[in-house]
Amino acid sequence: MKSRPRRDDRWIWWRLAWRNLWRNRRRTFITASALAFGYLAAVTIIGIWRGMLSEMIASGTDLVTGQLQIHAPDYHPERSMYTTLGGREGIDVDELVRLTRETPGIVAASPRVHGGGLVSSGSETVAGLFMGVDPDHEVEVTRLLESPAEGRAPRAGEREILIGRGMADRLGVEVGDEVVLVAPASDGSLGNDLYRVSGMFATGMVALDGSLGILPIGSLQELMAMPEEWIHEVAATVEDPFSAPAVGDSLAVALAARGLGYPVQPRPWTVFQAQLAEYASLAGAVNFIIVGIIFIMAIFGVANTMLLGTFERRREFAVVRALGTQPGMVALTVVYEGLILGVVALAVGVLISVPVLYWLHNYPPDLSKAFGDITMLGSVWRPVLRAEYSVDGPVVSAVALLITSILSALYPAYRAVKILPADALADL
């Protein structure tokens, strides 16, 4: 009965594998460099894809919707004027906003009221969607109020409105002109009042620029005969857009634990931006497919190189076989060489990928000058190749590289075992 190799014996074979690997330094260097650059390509692709997805998510949520919305459970899909948080009794708006902001993962939150009606100036009238916001907090959640194309954002407590350039052109108004807003009110009447155009925004999206009007939340509540305690939603932004569903679940648990006395339903952007979420999921899958192709191609290249080395050392393998070495240890030696090669390549890959990812994160190439801004899935996306740091990219790529190294060594190891001592030593 053959005894199993001792740990000391295995260490000898590890040392032997290391020495054999560096017999042909040029070949080892070229092979390790190829694997290292494969690792660099993988982590760069994952980082850029994640950055592009983050930019697309930001473009689709930071403009108007926010990344997380809190409504009454039955607010969607009808979006009734009367389906407010807390129902007819209303809520303590400041408390709900404060509790939302205190939830881990949430950066900012702002209350909102939604409505619809008509906007008129002179003989021109257009249908409009109205959104009442807290101007001081809304800028922390979305960016539509940050820098209007003309004028400024509406001020809290003022009868002012920010409209899209498309709506302004249809009405024939400019900044400083007055428009009449007409909207159904909660008491069954028809609210109407004069509002001054404080500014205009231009997103490049025709539907948004032609229909949306933004007012101070108090002004819209007054127009629609809604008390201060009535709001339709709280919009929030999160630290990591990809964690929005988990943050929403945590928020629901936290609010339920506080015993507010009314139900709430947090909805992440993956729900109200379903197309964008589906695209992000598909893009992520394609991303890892590309990484898989990179390392599959590497398997054939590395295996070819190691097979050549095995052929050159066939007499060496024949001698150790003739001395009584088990075939399994001969095969393991070749596998050890592949694994050592993978570890060396991984170390080199990490060293060269760190500065590349740092550069792509802090100084990303901006392709908008060549291609312009791209409208996709209802949002305007700027093509910037920014790489986002993530744990999964380097870890997945490292595991793939090591697996590639081992798989590349399997066939050469098999061929080394199949070398017959008599045939290999015949020419000696």
Residues 334-355 have pLDDT tens digits of: 788 788 888 888 899 999 999 9
Do 256 and 140 fall within a single domain? Answer: yes
Q: Is the Cβ–Cβ distance between 44 and 356 less than 8 Å?
A: yes
Angle at Cα 105 formed by Cα 104 and Cα 109, nearest 5°? 95
Do 267 and 337 fall within a single domain? Answer: no
Q: Is the Cβ–Cβ distance between 10 and 18 less than 8 Å?
A: no
Do 340 and 408 fall within a single domain? Answer: yes
Please enumerate in sequence order all residues whose Cβ is within 8 A of that of 91, keeping only pairs 6 or more positions apart, or say none: 84, 85, 229, 231, 260, 262
In this structure, is the dihedral angle defined by the CA atoms of residues 238, 244, 250 and 254, taken in order, positive or negative? positive
| Helix 274-312 / helix 25-61 crossing angle, nearest 10 deg | 180
In a domain, 55, yes or no: yes
Task: Provide the pLDDT confidence category of residue 198 given band limits of 50, 70 and 90.
Answer: very high
* Residue 331, CA distances (Å) to 14, 59, 317, 401 in order: 12, 54, 10, 20
Question: What does the alpha-carbon distance between residue 309 and residue 399 come to, in Å, rounded to a whole number?
Answer: 25
Do 266 and 333 fall within a single domain? Answer: no
Task: Average the pLDDT over 218-229 and give the result.
Answer: 94
Q: Is the Cβ–Cβ distance between 285 and 390 less than 8 Å?
A: no
In a domain, 332, yes or no: yes
Please enumerate in sequence order all residues whose Cβ is within 8 A of that of 318, keeping only pairs 6 or more positions apart, or say none: 419, 420, 421, 423, 424, 425
Q: Name the DSSP letter for residue 366.
A: B
Please enumerate in sequence order all residues whose Cβ is within 8 A of that of 367, keeping only pairs 6 or more positions apart, or say none: 383, 384, 385
More confident of the two residues 76 and 326: 76
Do 329 and 252 fall within a single domain? Answer: no
Structure tokens at 359: 């550069």
- The reported pLDDT for the residue numbered 298 is 81
The per-residue DSSP string of 4-57 comes to: PPPHHHHHHHHHHHHHHHTSSHHHHHHHHHHHHHHHHHHHHHHHHHHHHHHHHH
Q: Is the Cβ–Cβ distance between 81 and 273 less than 8 Å?
A: no
Q: Name the DSSP letter for residue 22.
A: T
Beta strands 150-151; 190-201: pairing state: antiparallel
What is the pTM (predicted TM-score) of this model? 0.72
Structure tokens at 149: 């194309």
Domain extent at residue 90: 68-272
Give the end of a domain, one of 234, 257, 272.
Answer: 272
- The reported pLDDT for the residue numbered 6 is 53
Task: Provide the pLDDT confidence category of residue 180 given band limits of 50, 70 and 90.
Answer: very high
Do 301 and 338 fall within a single domain? Answer: yes
Question: What does the alpha-carbon distance between residue 388 and residue 357 come to, in Å, rounded to a whole number?
Answer: 8
pLDDT per residue over 395-426, tens digit each?
A: 888 888 888 888 888 887 777 777 666 555 55
- The reported pLDDT for the residue numbered 171 is 95
In a domain, 1, yes or no: no
Q: Is the Cβ–Cβ distance between 57 and 276 less than 8 Å?
A: yes
Give the end of a domain, one of 219, 247, 272.
Answer: 272
Do 268 and 167 fall within a single domain? Answer: yes
Do 284 and 233 fall within a single domain? Answer: no
Residue at token pair 């709001």: 231
Do 264 and 378 fall within a single domain? Answer: no
Structure tokens at 424: 């290999």
Residue 1 pLDDT more than 50? no
- Reduced to 3 states (helix: H, G, I; strand: E, B; else coil), residue 414 is helix
ω into 77 cis (within 30 of 0): yes
Residue 69 pLDDT more than 90? yes
- The reported pLDDT for the residue numbered 259 is 78
- Nearest Cα neighbor of 375 from 367, 386, 383, 365 is 383
Q: Is the Cβ–Cβ distance between 73 and 265 less than 8 Å?
A: yes
In a domain, 2, yes or no: no
Do 178 and 291 fall within a single domain? Answer: no
Residue 167 pLDDT more than 90? yes
273 burial level (CB within 10 Å; 0-12, 13-18, 19+): buried
pLDDT per residue over 234-288, tens digit each?
A: 999 999 888 899 999 999 998 888 877 888 899 999 888 877 778 777 777 777 7
> Which H or E element spans position 182?
strand 178-184
Structure tokens at 321: 């076989």
Please enumerate in sequence order all residues whose Cβ is within 8 A of that of 119, keeping only pairs 6 or more positions apart, or say none: 125, 126, 127, 128, 163, 167, 171, 179, 180, 181, 213
Give the end of a domain, one of 244, 272, 300.
Answer: 272
Do 128 and 11 fall within a single domain? Answer: no
- The reported pLDDT for the residue numbered 132 is 96
Do 208 and 254 fall within a single domain? Answer: yes
| Domain count of the fold of the chain | 2
Residue 218 pLDDT more than 70? yes
- Nearest Cα neighbor of 168 from 192, 185, 148, 183 is 148
